[in-house]
Chains A and B, each alone.
Chain A
Amino acid sequence: DTGVSQNPRHKITKRGQNVTFRCDPISEHNRLYWYRQTLGQGPEFLTYFQNEAQLEKSRLLSDRFSAERPKGSFSTLEIQRTEQGDSAMYLCASSLGDSLYSGNTIYFGEGSWLTVV
């Protein structure tokens, strides 16, 4: 098992372009999270999938953002019409949810850095 994998690790894009990030979670993990982190801050929750179902989206996730997990395995996070304020690191995390109300060890990817110029 290679852990949580994210691609690309770094992306520089011009304002107005679309970008897509991919996350491959640990294979048996049914829970997948996207977080965003800006410099000097802790990560902020964006969205959560349980298997293929997107069960929660943060208000931070404007309509320019869309996330999918079509087969309950890998996930993509797309940002349309990027803005400079989207520059951040986008972190993916996964865990195995054996109970709805228990804390479980969460495994993080290395993150995908986005710079919008």
Chain B
Amino acid sequence: KNEVEQSPQNLTAQEGEFITINCSYSVGISALHWLQQHPGGGIVSLFMLSSGKKKHGRLIATINIQEKHSSLHITASHPRDSAVYICAVNYGGATNKLIFGTGTLLAVQP
């Protein structure tokens, strides 16, 4: 069982739809990251959260520390949002290494 679980694993949406991707983790963390990965590899950091909510353009990320749950929302989705969205957590400590979820493959159709 992965320490970081995402749902859904695959998501197909129509352009303009509101999208939600969920992430659950098992123990207390120091921070949670939402990342975007396009085909070919490169990973881009979207958000880093330790509490509350952050917004950047059409993207919104929320975290509930008590529930050990985070959501990534995309408003007015667009085909260029098509990518893999990955949730990852820091447990802190000396290395601050990330533990990754398996990702959510999002396809936004025009």
Contact = CB atoms under 8 A, between A and B. Distances in A.
Interface of A: 31, 33, 35, 37, 40-45, 48, 50, 55-56, 89, 91, 93, 95, 97, 100-111, 113
Task: Among B42, B97, B101, find the residue whose CB has the most chain A CB atoms closer than 10 A.
Answer: B97
B2 to A, nearest CB: 8
A48 B97 contact: yes
26 contacts: A31-B96, A35-B98, A40-B102, A42-B100, A43-B86, A45-B98, A48-B95, A48-B97, A56-B97, A93-B43, A97-B96, A100-B92, A101-B93, A102-B31, A102-B96, A103-B33, A103-B48, A103-B50, A103-B90, A104-B48, A104-B96, A106-B98, A108-B43, A108-B44, A111-B43, A113-B41
Contacts of B92: 100-103
Contacts of A45: 97-99
Interface residues of B, number: 30
A103 B96 contact: yes
A106 B33 contact: yes
A55 to B, nearest CB: 6
B96 A109 contact: no
B97 A33 contact: yes
Task: Among A100, A105, A108, find the residue whose CB has the most chain B CB atoms closer than 10 A.
Answer: A108
Given A106-B45, A107-B45, A110-B42, A101 B30 contact: yes
